[in-house]
Structure formats: structure tokens, C-alpha cells
Structure 1
Amino acid sequence: MKFIKAALTILTLILTTLWGVCAVYFGDSFTGITQVSMSILFGLLGLATLISLGLPRWRKHFLLGYSISFVIILTWWLGINPSNHRKWQTDANKLAYATFAVDTVTVHNIRNFDYRSELDYQPAYYTKTFDLNKLQGIDLFSIYWMGPAIAHTIISFDFGGNDHLAVSIEARKEQGEGYSTIKGFFRQYELVYFVADERDVIRLRTNYRHHPLEQAYLYRLQGPIENGRRLFLEYMSKINGLNQKPEFYNTLLDNCTTAIWLRTLTNQEHLPFSWKILLSGYLPEYLYESQRLDTRIPFPELQQQAHINNLAQAADQSPDFSKRIRAEKLINRETQ
């Protein structure tokens, strides 16, 4: 028991020290000399406290001092508040919002940038009204860039014809700020739901991002259309909520995939939580196993059919981009 207690104490000290160092270092979207110095001092205090565990005379004093310091850091960190008022990158400058009528939803600030390269683009937005009675289905895009376990997921609502509204849940970045998985744990990014034309948010990833290359897969979800309408309204409600009360993005708990699962809780038939949601690259496989994708063919064959990079690159600036990236899939569905 003494050994277990000592091991747990050491592990707790190591983990809380690492967390405290990162929390202080990253701070509130800014890392200055003061924060770097404070993070180093807290790291040294954690190391000294770890060493003091072998010195009975000093152990209690160091543990007390360390505990007080950690509580101060935790209290300060919990007091960091999200904001919609920062100097945002151009692509994250405008937030979408929705207004509701009886059977229609008007979505404002739908992003539709014209890209010349990943970082060279002409900003453009539009407003469009969607008839809930015309919702035909929901598609899932899974986009890979670092192996099979991690993917960025995007939901797209199909209102027929070329009317597809994509929603990409991401970290909202400030000017000059890059994305860091580690920073995403420490209240560094606000959460944003980018509502966009597929010619923007999908084409950006298939046609213009090359470092690294991104591979996109398109799956049609299976389920009652009533669930799709509720999910769409849930998304729009959340988007409006973030306009009024911003929230922090979290790499693990509130990201592009876990947030999708949270939104599906509006339907009673939602999927149980799974580790394949955390490791988002395996989400399509989980959906297949749960009968939420087309199961008439084996999953590897379905995944091969779902790959759309070549179709997206051929469609590029075509106004019927959404139709063209689905053309072969519609044929496959009809022939199966």
C-alpha cells in the first residue's frame, strides 16, 4: 500500500506539473516573457517537490507550497473566458447565424471563398433560405492527413439539387496563429462552426492544401429524415448560441467529431459513445458497424468508393461542384 501511495503521488506530481507549466506558458492566447518565466519557476517547484518526497524533513513543506501554487494556477486558468472579439484570421472573421420561420431557416454569412491557393483567397459570403421539407439527407466528409486514426469530419446537409450546406467545427484562430493539438487543451482557441458552401470548405482541402496532402471521403448517412431535420435545427441553434456566448475549443472533448456526436443527442436513436469517436479516423467504420452507412458492400469497398479527391479536383471551380463530387456515387447506389 505504501508503494502504491508513493507511486500515485509521484504520478500526480508529474502530471499536474506538466499541466501547470503548459497552462501558464500558453496563458490567455499570448505567451510573453513573464509567462515563460512563471512556467519555468512552476516546473522547478514541481521538480523540487518530487525530490522532497525522499526527504521526510522537507516533504510536507514542499507539498504544501506546491499545492497552494497549483490551486492558484488552476483558479486563474478557470477564470480565462472565451471571446468573440479578437483579431481573427480573415477566414474566421465572420460568424454564421440563422433566423427561423415556420418551415424554413435562413442562414446568414455562409462562407464561399474563391481560392487561388490555401492562403490566397477572395472572401465572399452569402445568405440562403432552406426549406426543412426539402431536406433529403446528410453526408459525412472524413478528411485524412496524418494516418488512419485521425480525421477532420464535416457534416453536410443535402437540400436537393446543388443545395448542400456544410458545417465544419474547428478551432477559431487569431491573426498569425497556427493550430497546435497541445494548445487545444489549454483554452487557446474559441470554438467555431464554419457554415460554408462545399465549394469552399471541401475544395480547400482537396484542391489547395498540399503540405500535407489531404484525402477526403464522402459518405451518405442512413436514418430517418425526421432525425436529420432535428439535427439541422440543433446545429443552427448551437451556431446562434456561440454568437451570443462563445465557448472554448478542446482537442479531446469539444472538437470536430465529439461536437458532432453531442449534437446528435437531440435524437433518441443516437449512437452510443465509442473510442472510435475520439480516434475520429475510425468514425466511418463505427458508423458502418452501427448500420448508419450503406452496408450492402464490404466497408473497404465502400471506403474506396467514398474517396473524392479526383472528382473534386476535376470539378474545381464548377458551380455544380457538389453534384459532380457525388455523380459516381449516385450511379453506384442505383446499380447496387
Structure 2
Amino acid sequence: MAWLNGLLMIPMLACAGWGAMALYFRLALPHVGRWLVAGLWLATWLVLVFLLWRGMPWFALAGISILMLGLAWWWRSLKPLHDRPWADDVAHLASGEVQGNRLVLHHVRNFRWHTRHEFTPAWETRTYELDRLTSLDLFISNWGRPAISHVMLSFGFDDGQFVTFSVEVRREKGERFSEFGGFFKQYELAIIAADERDAVQLRSNVRGEQVTLYRVDISGDAMRELLLALVEEANRLEYEPRFYHTITANCSTLVFVMMRNIIHGLPLDYRLLLTGLLPGYVHARGGLVEGHELAELRRLGRINERAKQAHGDPAFSRHIRQGVPGWAMQDKPT
């Protein structure tokens, strides 16, 4: 019987730990209150483990069943919402519609960032000619953890416009991001469409993150399909809010699902989760500019110094692309 008790210990400990973290991250209580409830949950599990080892498995299993059924009922009752006091930079979600050959995007963010907390806000409606779509760039923004980065996609048009899409957590005012909280329905999902200068400068110039730009080698049809897939998902989120998830619905995995519907046969890979390594996955699949090693693309694609020099320049997008492989036409207007 001791061996059976030992086997039961593994799922019991997993359930105890998961439940404690879920309660801590999602209960609508002050910080101290969440700690107390999580601690009480773990203490109850210790009692059940004691009963199991004292030869009372049926009492232990009955207690486990009651706890887990209650937790499951509460967990299923948690629903994503739209009406929260959102942080200013995620106050609106992108949406759009196709009118003939034109894409009309609503709530395109075009903030002018002065500091992390000081900015001039602007949300705009912009129109893009789909037959003038010419480029797709991958931005990787890193804040010090080599394997973890934020991913943004920037679509370029031959009239000089760039629109950048960013899949993010939709934070409330004063709320900070936690990778662990992202496992436990702590945040809603947001798709933000932004002027490229806004999206990039926030990270490179204001937050001081290391931003690297990669030109993506993709067909015009696939590029257009991806853009419209992002708009379609953004429209869906506008009416049906969804929780962000650190693994299954983040800045890379959400886009991967879209790309897999466009380019069939794309394999799963650990680099889809370790987003700082995502360029290596794209490079291995032939998705970056040919004729360059990944290390060279990374070195030439680091744009922080150019971004700082062009901070207030209307030609920001052209300047940050100087020397980036795949962007030889540097005198193109923006």
C-alpha cells in the first residue's frame, strides 16, 4: 500500500501547487488576503496528505475531490472582460475592415512617448492600400532575459507607411506583467496596431530594451494573408474577449497558428515558446534574408542607436533600417 500512496503523492502535490498559485493570482483580494487563502489551501492539502499516510485513503480522496471540484467550479466562472480600468496604452483594441482593396484600421495607436509614464496620446483611423503592401519585418525586443523577448510584426507599404502589430497583455492601470500570472487568467489578450515609431520607440528609446529588426522573406500573398488574419483576430477580440496565456496565447504562438494556416507544414518548435530564440526558428525555415548567418542578421539588425538618433525624425522608419539586410533601398521616402 505504501507504493500506491507514493504514486498518489505526485498528482496531489501538483494539484496543491497549481491550486495555490491560481488562488494567489486570481482571487479578487488584497495581496495579504491572497497569501492567506493560498496558505490555507496548502495547509488543507497537508492534512489530506497526512490522512493518506495514516492509512485513511478514502478520507483523503474525499477531501481532494471536494477541493478540486470547488476549485474547478470557481476557475470556470472566471471570464475575460472588456470593461476594466485599462492602462492608457492598451485602452483600445485594434479593429478593421476591408473595403475593396483598402484596409481601414481603427484605433491605431500613435503616441508620442516622453517617458514611461508621460506621453501624448493619440488613437487614429488609418487607411492602407493592400496592393501597395511590400514588406514584413520582425522586431524582437529583449529586456535582459536572453530567451524571453517581445515579438512585433511591422507591415510596410510602398507609400512609406508602416503599421506594427503587437500581441500583448491588456493590463489594468497600475498593473504589472508577470509571466507566472499569464498562466492563471490574470490578463486579457490585446492586439494593438500602432504607428511603427510609437511601437518601436516605446521599447528602444523609452524602456531601454534591446530591439533587433529582421526583414522577413515571405511571398506577397502570404504577407497579405497574415495581415488580414491579424485584423480578423483583432475583430474577434473586440467582441469576444479572451485571456492571455504565457504559452498558448502569447506574442509568438498566436501568430504561429495564423502562419500555420497560411504555410502548411510548419513544425512545432521550442523556440516558439522561448521567444528570444524565435529568429533562429524563422531563419532555419528560410524565412529571413538569404546569404547571411543568423549572428550577422542579429548584429546588423540592432536598431537602438539609430532609433535614438532619429527619435523625433518623421523619417524614423527609414533611419532604423539603414544597414539592415534586405533594406538596400534606404533613400525610399517614409
Q: Common fold, TM-score beyond 0.5?
A: yes
Tell me how far apart the structure 1 counterparts of residues 64 and 96 of structure 2 sit (CA, whole Å): 48
Q: Percent sequence identity over matched residues?
A: 31
Residues 110 and 198, structure 2, Cα contact 8 Å, conserved in 1: yes
Q: Compared with structure 1, are the counterparts of its residues 132 and 89 closer, same or farther at alpha carbon in structure 2 (3 Å cutoff)?
A: same
Once the two structures are overlaid, the 10-residue window that deviates more, 10-19 or 22-31, is 22-31
Task: Specify the SS of the correspondent of 1:238.
Answer: helix
Residue matched to 1:145? 143
Once the two structures are overlaid, the 10-residue window that deviates more, 148-157 or 24-33, is 24-33
Task: Specify the SS of the correspondent of 2:262.
Answer: coil
Question: Cα offset for 1:293?
Answer: 0.7
Tell me how far apart the structure 1 counterparts of residues 81 and 237 of structure 2 sit (CA, whole Å): 10
1:202 is aligned with what amino acid? V
Question: Cα offset for 1:329?
Answer: 2.0
The answer as to 2:52 corresponding to 1:25 is no
Q: CA RMSD in A?
A: 2.0
Residue matched to 1:296? 291
**Which residues of 2 match residues 137-286 of structure 1 at below 5 A?**
137-209=135-207, 213-269=208-264, 271-286=266-281
1:78 is aligned with what amino acid? R
Tell me how far apart the structure 2 counterparts of residues 97 and 166 of structure 1 sit (CA, whole Å): 13
Question: Cα offset for 1:28?
Answer: 5.2
Once the two structures are overlaid, the 10-residue window that deviates more, 252-261 or 22-31, is 22-31
1:26 is aligned with what amino acid? F
Q: Compared with structure 1, are the counterparts of its residues 12 and 115 closer, same or farther at alpha carbon in structure 2 (3 Å cutoff)?
A: same
Q: Compared with structure 1, are the counterparts of its residues 296 and 290 closer, same or farther at alpha carbon in structure 2 (3 Å cutoff)?
A: same
Residue matched to 2:103? 105
Q: Compared with structure 1, are the counterparts of its residues 29 and 268 closer, same or farther at alpha carbon in structure 2 (3 Å cutoff)?
A: farther
Tell me how far apart the structure 1 counterparts of residues 270 and 50 of structure 2 sit (CA, whole Å): 37
Tell me how far apart the structure 1 counterparts of residues 193 and 329 of structure 2 sit (CA, whole Å): 30
Partner residue of 1:307 out of 302, 319, 331: 302
Tell me how far apart the structure 1 counterparts of residues 180 and 133 of structure 2 sit (CA, whole Å): 38
1:111 is aligned with what amino acid? R
1:266 is aligned with what amino acid? N
Tell me how far apart the structure 2 counterparts of residues 225 and 331 of structure 1 sit (CA, whole Å): 15
Which runs of no fewer than 5 residues in structure 1 stay unpaired?
A: none
Tell me how far apart the structure 2 counterparts of residues 311 and 277 of structure 1 sit (CA, whole Å): 28
1:199 is aligned with what amino acid? R
Residues 234 and 266, structure 1, Cα contact 8 Å, conserved in 2: no
The number of residue pairs the alignment matches comes to: 330
Tell me how far apart the structure 1 counterparts of residues 222 and 210 of structure 2 sit (CA, whole Å): 29
Residues 297 and 324, structure 2, Cα contact 8 Å, conserved in 1: no
TM-score by length of structure 1 reads 0.92
Once the two structures are overlaid, the 10-residue window that deviates more, 216-225 or 261-270, is 261-270
TM-score by length of structure 2 reads 0.93
Tell me how far apart the structure 2 counterparts of residues 61 and 55 of structure 1 sit (CA, whole Å): 10
Q: Compared with structure 1, are the counterparts of its residues 327 and 32 closer, same or farther at alpha carbon in structure 2 (3 Å cutoff)?
A: closer
Tell me how far apart the structure 2 counterparts of residues 201 and 290 of structure 1 sit (CA, whole Å): 27
Task: Specify the SS of the correspondent of 1:126.
Answer: strand
Which aligned runs of 4 or more in structure 1 are off by greater than 4 angstroms?
28-36, 330-335
Q: Compared with structure 1, are the counterparts of its residues 230 and 2 closer, same or farther at alpha carbon in structure 2 (3 Å cutoff)?
A: farther
2:169 is aligned with what amino acid? A
1:15 is aligned with what amino acid? A
Q: Compared with structure 1, are the counterparts of its residues 29 and 135 closer, same or farther at alpha carbon in structure 2 (3 Å cutoff)?
A: farther
1:237 is aligned with what amino acid? E
